Amino acid sequence: ETGVTQTPRHLVMGMTNKKSLKCEQHLGHNAMYWYKQSAKKPLELMFVYSLEERVENNSVPSRFSPECPNSSHLFLHLHTLQPEDSALYLCASSQDQRGGTYEQYFGPGTRLTVT
């Protein structure tokens, strides 16, 4: 595997379900990100992890819970979601969140539909 991978690519869940999104980066980066992309809206940064510590949480509802067990893996745990949470969830990584190289490399995303 190369780059940034995300699973699953598509997910349909009911509002009472619990599911998790997984992201893995194979680039040796130290920072990882979760973004939400809704139709006709700019990308919304949800969470940032640098060296496995959360450094940013942009007022995301508690029904989204991130986990970063190591610098290569990032999870987004979902529970009791709302239909408006349906969106494309993108994971990204970069060499360093606080300095050095800033460009982020993205995975293909998980298309989430909440019914």
- Closer CB to other proteins, 15 or 55, in the complex: 55
Measure Cα distances from 19 to 22, 51, 79, 107 in Å: 10, 25, 7, 19
- Closer CB to other proteins, 6 or 114, in the complex: 6
CA distance between the termini of the chain: 32
Our CA angle for 4, 8, 12, nearest 5°, is: 145
Ramachandran angles phi, psi of 84, nearest 5°:
-70, -5
Contact between 56 and other proteins per CB under 8 A: yes
Of residues 19, 22, 73, 111, which one binds other proteins by CB under 8 A?
Answer: 111
- Closer CB to other proteins, 43 or 80, in the complex: 43
Contact between 107 and other proteins per CB under 8 A: yes
Site residues (vs other proteins, CB under 8 A)? 40-43, 45, 48, 56, 88, 90, 92, 97-99, 102-109, 111
